[in-house]
Amino acid sequence: KNQVEQSPQSLIILEGKNCTLQCNYTVSPFSNLRWYKQDTGRGPVSLTIMTFSENTKSNGRYTATLDADTKQSSLHITASQLSDSASYICVVSDRGSTLGRLYFGRGTQLTVWP
Amino acid sequence: EADIYQTPRYLVIGTGKKITLECSQTMGHDKMYWYQQDPGMELHLIHYSYGVNSTEKGDLSSESTVSRIRTEHFPLTLESARPSHTSQYLCASSEPTGRAQDEQYFGPGTRLTVT
């Protein structure tokens, strides 16, 4: 069964600190992995997308890694800001359909305190 | 920021009412999607469309229906709302690249509460 599991479920950190969010998946055949940021009451916004051949991708203070062998990804946030408080969702796409089937994790709820 | 819009943003309605959630995009995307998301849970695909006059049901069974008469417009309708329909509904669209890994752009969502 194709699944995406994220950990931790929630995380609280102080402003300025770094943190790392984890994503494990069983989706096959694998096409790509994305990390989305979803602010409360808003739609998800894409942060990074990585294909099978990419093992790291950065977007400002966000750095995503991918290990396609172990089917694990991480999202590292550097020097956190209050505006980083949001849900971070790991999304994996398979190559098995023309629709571009997406499998969503439940997200990690990050809270940054001043 | 993606040019995809949803109205209303919030809706509180009584049981048995008919409602239509609007979704429009100005990017010329062929593919459009409706997702349902409950608090703390993953997004579930309920409807999608490859283009005008094309609609398909997604993975999660839904009593809602959709239509795609124009490329930019993909409304979702509930003929008779029930409390079990209370949820957040997210609309998305993706570029017509023909690749399986199309980037999906999401609207801000409609928070529906049925009393």
Percentage of chain A exceeding pLDDT 70: 96
Residue B96 scores a pLDDT above 70: no
Q: Which two tokens stand for residue A17?
A: 């600190």
Provide the 10 A C-beta neighbour count for residue A64: 24
Q: Could you give the CA distance from residue A41 to residue B26 in angstroms, rounded to a whole number? A: 22
Mean pLDDT of chain A: 92
pLDDT value at residue B17: 95
Nearest CA in chain B to A33: B101
Provide the 10 A C-beta neighbour count for residue A107: 25
Instruction: Note whether B77 and B11 are within 8 A (CB).
Output: no
Q: Could you give the CA distance from residue A92 to residue A3 in angstroms, rounded to a whole number? A: 9
Q: Could you give the CA distance from residue B94 to residue B30 in angstroms, rounded to a whole number? A: 7
Q: Could you give the CA distance from residue A92 to residue A31 in angstroms, rounded to a whole number? A: 7
Q: Could you give the CA distance from residue A89 to residue B35 in angstroms, rounded to a whole number? A: 14
Reading phi first (left if > 0) and then psi (alpha if -120 to 50, else beta), residue A83 is in alpha
Whether A43 sits inside 8 A of B106 (CB atoms) is: yes
Residue A44 scores a pLDDT above 90: yes
Residue A39 scores a pLDDT above 50: yes
pLDDT confidence of A29, banded at 50, 70, 90?
Answer: confident
- Which residue in the set A43, A100, A109 is minimally distant from B101, CB to CB? A100
pLDDT value at residue B15: 96
- Which residue in the set B94, B100, B108 is minimally distant from A43, CB to CB? B108
In this predicted model, what pLDDT tens digit does every residue of A11-23 receive, in sequence order?
999 999 999 999 9
In this predicted model, what pLDDT tens digit does every residue of B46-87 receive, in sequence order?
999 989 999 999 888 788 999 999 999 999 999 999 999 999
- Quick one: which of A39, A78, A101 has its CA closest to B56? A101
pLDDT confidence of B1, banded at 50, 70, 90?
Answer: low
Residue A77 scores a pLDDT above 90: yes
Residue A105 scores a pLDDT above 80: yes
- Looking at residue B84, the DSSP 8-state letter turns out to be G
